[in-house]
C-alpha cells in the first residue's frame, strides 16, 4: 500500500447538495423551498414551537408541579434513624458515612418521628421543637 493510493471507501463520501444552480441539478429555480410563503423567503422562519399563530402547546397545557431547589441540599432524619444509628455524637459527616443522607447534602434537620431511648449529642444538626424535647428527655443535647 502506498500513501498516494489511499482513498475513502466507496459510498463514504458524497457531493454536497448544490441548490439553485440550474434546472439540470434537480434543485434549480425554487431550490427545494416550494412556492411562496414564509419558509420560502430569505430570513423568513419562526421560533421553535411556533404553530402559525395558534396557541403553542407549551402554553395550552396546564402548569403543574414544582421542585424546590432547597430539597436538593437539605435533608430530614427521624428519631428512629438516630436510634438505629447507635452513636453517642451525631454530626453531618457521621450521617453521610452511615448512608442516611446523600453526599450533596449541606444541612440536616432531625424531626420527631418515632422514639429515641439512648442519649445522643447533635453537633451542627438542627432539630424540630418536638425532636429537641425528645432528645433532651433521654439525656441528650442539641448543639
Flag whether 42 is in a domain. Answer: yes
Specify whether 118 is located in the same domain as 84.
yes
CA 44 – CA 103 distance, rounded (Å): 50
pLDDT score, position 45: 84
Q: Minimum mean pLDDT among 9-18, 69-78, 98-107, 119-128: which range? A: 69-78
Cα separations (Å) of 45 from 30, 39, 41, 52?
A: 16, 6, 8, 11
CA 69 to chain centre: 10
CA 83 – CA 116 distance, rounded (Å): 6
Specify whether 136 is located in the same domain as 83.
yes
pLDDT score, position 126: 93
Specify whether 32 is located in the same domain as 82.
no
- Mean pLDDT in residue range 133-141: 93
CATH number at residue 98: 3.100.10.10
pLDDT 10s digits, 67-111: 777 777 889 999 999 999 888 899 999 999 999 998 888 999 999
CA 70 to chain centre: 14
Q: 38, 46 in Cβ contact below 8 A? A: yes
Task: State whether residue 143 is helix, strand or coil.
Answer: coil
Domain span including residue 111:
70-142
Flag whether 96 is in a domain. Answer: yes
If you average pLDDT over every residue of the chain, what do you get? 91
- Which triple of cell numbers denotes residue 64? 403543574
Flag whether 13 is in a domain. Answer: no
Specify whether 79 is located in the same domain as 126.
yes
Tell me how many domains the chain contains.
2
User: Which of 135, 114, 121 lies closest to 88, judged by CA?
Assistant: 121
Please give the model's pTM, rounded to 2 decimal places. Answer: 0.52
Return the DSSP state at 89.
E
Percent of the chain past pLDDT 70, that is, above it, reads: 100
Q: 95, 108 in Cβ contact below 8 A? A: yes
Specify whether 100 is located in the same domain as 134.
yes
Specify whether 48 is located in the same domain as 77.
no
Amino acid at each position: 500500500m502506498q500513501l498516494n493510493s489511499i482513498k475513502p471507501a466507496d459510498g463514504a463520501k458524497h457531493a454536497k447538495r448544490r441548490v439553485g444552480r440550474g434546472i439540470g441539478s434537480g434543485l434549480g429555480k425554487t431550490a427545494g423551498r416550494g412556492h411562496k410563503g414564509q419558509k420560502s423567503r430569505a430570513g423568513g422562519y419562526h421560533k421553535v414551537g411556533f404553530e402559525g399563530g395558534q396557541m403553542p402547546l407549551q402554553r395550552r397545557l396546564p402548569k403543574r408541579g414544582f421542585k424546590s431547589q432547597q430539597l436538593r441540599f437539605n435533608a430530614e432524619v427521624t428519631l428512629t434513624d438516630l436510634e438505629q444509628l447507635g452513636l453517642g455524637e451525631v454530626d453531618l459527616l457521621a450521617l453521610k458515612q452511615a448512608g442516611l443522607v446523600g453526599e450533596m447534602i449541606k444541612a440536616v434537620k432531625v424531626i420527631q418521628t418515632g422514639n429515641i431511648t439512648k442519649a445522643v449529642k447533635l453537633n451542627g444538626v438542627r432539630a424540630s421543637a418536638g425532636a429537641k424535647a425528645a432528645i433532651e428527655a433521654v439525656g441528650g443535647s442539641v448543639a
